[in-house]
Structure 1
């Protein structure tokens, strides 16, 4: 143990300081500590990988194991600490993990190339720590571009268009036993519960209810009986949960649901192709990274919802056939 302390003591101090620095930036950035911030998502992870190596000697810097392991240890400890004290939830850390681990390692390699065999100057390291706090105000002063993206899922159902239509316009309560909860549901994405509509026509309002009390107000903008229906989507602000993920995503200014559309197409074999597409808007300077996660999470949600609809329709079809028989 003493040998480890003698050999890696300064590095461990560097890791501790790196974790503390990460926590300070998270608290200071607060609501800006999201996917919408270039500074938080790209600059801070890079610095986080450099900080502990500022306490390494040349021999330790020559070790590629240290260049990889130390930044990862710092980031992992930082993430674990945020999770334990409630600053972030698992799903938030999952989304942040890629940039933090990758850029932390890149930062460490850059530091190794620049610093190896040179005299270390703590003043330079201290100046580096101030960079995010100087860049963030400049970033906030620049308007963020907005883009609308679409994600589409489909399923083939052995049923009639009329039967499928009745199951998408209104959705009866979905019980846990019939909904195949996935990884994202287990880490915080609410599952759908039901949907009710007041008027089955253009101008009608559809209320979508989700786990945890989340509510979507959906206005029917297109209604073609047994063929297609579109809803504009607005999240009811009062229904947004107080957890970190919902507050960052649903209560922020960079992610908005736009609309959703169901389309039915009868196939030659008596089956029906049901497509569900959703449009969502991102407003940030790194929309492509947000799109990556938006497509994955919304795609997973739509796939599981379509499974419920398909299963209900086919079970009803089979029950009807048994009665007729």
Structure 2
């Protein structure tokens, strides 16, 4: 017997219902992960297994007779990602940084799940059972993953700039710039598009090892930097102290700089005099992470922290060269 033909209205209704069911299931997994473990969202099951299973499930339901093309299947993760972004920002109040970091993983995993569903689709008996089994897969993965050790990693992000000024002119700026004005620094993706806050100022209290740099950033973000290395004209280093973590709720509660799976630990500047009278200024930031996708997280650390460091170095360069 020939399979029934598709109508646009019936197809749209079936896809819409499947998408709604998939998103409702994803929301349930999200809430379950939040309730059961603080770092539940930073997990292999949530980041990779869930989007693949949800997209495969939606594809099965949206194509009951197994007659749709691969292109139809591969569009499903795109629709799912768009809906997830809207749901995350408007309903779940997730910050832009979380959404930006999540999107490539969800899209890539969803494409794999949809392509696999297209390859393994079955026009006969048992397709519905397999679709339901796909939806259960993330829950099983969460149970297994909870019993496995999560890898840890430490890394350092470093940026450099050459300043047309001697170290003695640059050094006071490393101690702190208390009056950062709007427009200073460098345009970058993280701060000008994604919305990571910009610095408003920093001032040094005390002098030498044990002194504190008090940093203020936009949106009420404030933190201390306790000096651990002090060599005037050459280098200054510190460890970060984040006492007021509530201020970080403005953007991503899962990306606080002192959490169970992500900690920004130390940083510092180093001055290297060059033969032509100029000075190389290097800024480094070290952090620790504990996630199942440390390699992927490290890439975003290079992007976000690299942008912040480039912005600060551009500010120092502009002020030092004006002073020189």
Given the superposition, is the C-alpha separation of residues 276 and 244 from structure 1 closer, same or farther in structure 2, using an over 3 Å criterion? closer
CA distance in 1, matches of 2:129, 2:93: 30
Which residue among 303, 306, 322 is the counterpart of 1:315?
322
Which residue among 240, 257, 260 is the counterpart of 2:264?
257
Farther-moved stretch of structure 1 (208-217 vs 125-134)? 125-134
1:8 CA displacement: 4.1
The corresponding residue for 2:287 is 280
Does 1:225 pair with 2:229? no
1:230 CA displacement: 0.9
Does 1:152 pair with 2:158? yes
Any idea what the Cα deviations from partners look like across 1:234-275, whole Å, max 9, x if unmatched?
A: 222345332351444335311111111211111111111111
Which residue among 61, 64, 68 is the counterpart of 1:57?
64
Any idea what the Cα deviations from partners look like across 1:194-223, whole Å, max 9, x if unmatched?
A: 112222211212222111222222111111
CA distance in 1, matches of 2:167, 2:265: 26
CA distance in 2, matches of 1:236, 1:42: 33
The corresponding residue for 1:191 is 198
1:45 CA displacement: 1.0
The corresponding residue for 1:13 is 17
CA distance in 1, matches of 2:198, 2:299: 21
Q: SS at 1:240's partner residue?
A: helix
Higher helix share: 1
Return 5+ residue gaps in structure 1 as ranges.
Answer: 318-325
Any idea what the Cα deviations from partners look like across 1:122-174, whole Å, max 9, x if unmatched?
A: 23322322222232243233332221101110111011101101001122221
Return 5+ residue gaps in structure 2 as ranges.
Answer: 1-5
Q: How many positions carry a matched residue from both structures? A: 314
CA distance in 1, matches of 2:248, 2:157: 24
CA distance in 1, matches of 2:322, 2:112: 53
The corresponding residue for 2:176 is 170
Structure 1 segment 1-325 matched on structure 2, within 5 A:
3-30=7-34, 31-32=38-39, 34=41, 36-55=42-61, 56-61=63-68, 63-186=69-192, 187-243=194-250, 245-250=252-257, 252-317=259-324
CA distance in 1, matches of 2:67, 2:121: 12
1:115 CA displacement: 1.9
CA distance in 1, matches of 2:105, 2:311: 28
**Do 1:249 and 1:255's aligned partners in 2 also have CA atoms closer than 8 Å?**
yes
Runs of 4+ in 1 over 4 A off after TM superposition: none
Q: SS at 1:306's partner residue?
A: helix
TM-score when normalising by structure 1: 0.89
CA distance in 2, matches of 1:188, 1:234: 22
Given the superposition, is the C-alpha separation of residues 292 and 64 from structure 1 closer, same or farther in structure 2, using an over 3 Å criterion? same
Given the superposition, is the C-alpha separation of residues 45 and 249 from structure 1 closer, same or farther in structure 2, using an over 3 Å criterion? farther
